[in-house]
Amino acid sequence: MINLLVIRFFFFFFGLILITPQGFASELSELMKQGNTVLMMRHAYAPGVGDPANFKLNDCSTQRNLNQEGISQARAIGNWLRSQGLTEATVYTSPWCRCIDSAKLLNLGSPQIVEAIASTFNEQDYATPAKKSLTEWMQNNFKKPNSKPQIMVTHQVNILAYTGVNTSSGEIVLVQVNADGTAKVLKTFLPH
């Protein structure tokens, strides 16, 4: 009887060691199996609102950037995504430095700059051009199947215009892209 208990304990204990988090299907990975999905992430924490007057897109020193809290947050989000089973992804980013830095710190793939998710915060009617540009890009990008999960690191104004969801720093909106490029929000995540 004791030997049987020892054997059961042995298999139970070593079975736990062999199981990895990627061995379990997470809610996120299950939702992404629905197809034509993209994770839209607001860049990690960058203190302030908008950008300083006379900022230059090609000069990070003139922009609002991630502070240490934002750097730590972006790394933690990357770790959280890996714990959900995403070990690599196609990563798209706005050309703003805080988005590029957030995308790189996820450590899931080399970020590709996409103008369709550039900030429109300083435009008079920011919502209309942001939604139109992003809807067209999504429609074209999702015509063909994607072999990897897709992540877009962008700005609050773009996510709000496209999905109707107001996000905080580092918040992620899981979107299913319809054939016409419009969004169906599946779920939001705020990794810690």
Exposure string over 64-78, b if 16+ CB within 10 A, otherwise e:
bbbeeebbebbebbb
Mean pLDDT of all residues in 107-120? 90
pLDDT above 60: residue 143? yes
149 Cβ contact list (under 8 Å, min separation 6):
32, 37, 39, 86, 89, 90
Mean pLDDT of all residues in 50-74? 89
Query: If you average pLDDT over each of 14-23, 93-102, 120-129, 138-147, which comes out highest?
Result: 93-102
Question: Looking at residue 125, what is its pLDDT?
Answer: 59
pLDDT above 60: residue 103? yes
- The position carrying tokens 């996409």 is 114
What is the reported pTM? 0.82
Cα gap 116→135, rounded to integer Å: 9
Which domains does the chain show, CATH number per domain?
Answer: 25-189 (3.40.50.1240)
pLDDT above 70: residue 16? no
Mean pLDDT of the chain, nearest integer: 83
Quote the distance between the C-alpha of residue 159 and its chain's center: 11
User: What confidence tens digit (pLDDT) does each residue in 146-176 have?
Assistant: 778 999 999 998 999 899 999 999 999 999 9
Cα gap 87→7, rounded to integer Å: 35
User: What confidence tens digit (pLDDT) does each residue in 22-58 have?
Assistant: 444 688 888 877 778 999 999 999 998 877 788 888 8
Mode of pairing for the β-strands spanning 90-93 and 37-42:
unpaired
Question: Looking at residue 2, what is its pLDDT?
Answer: 56
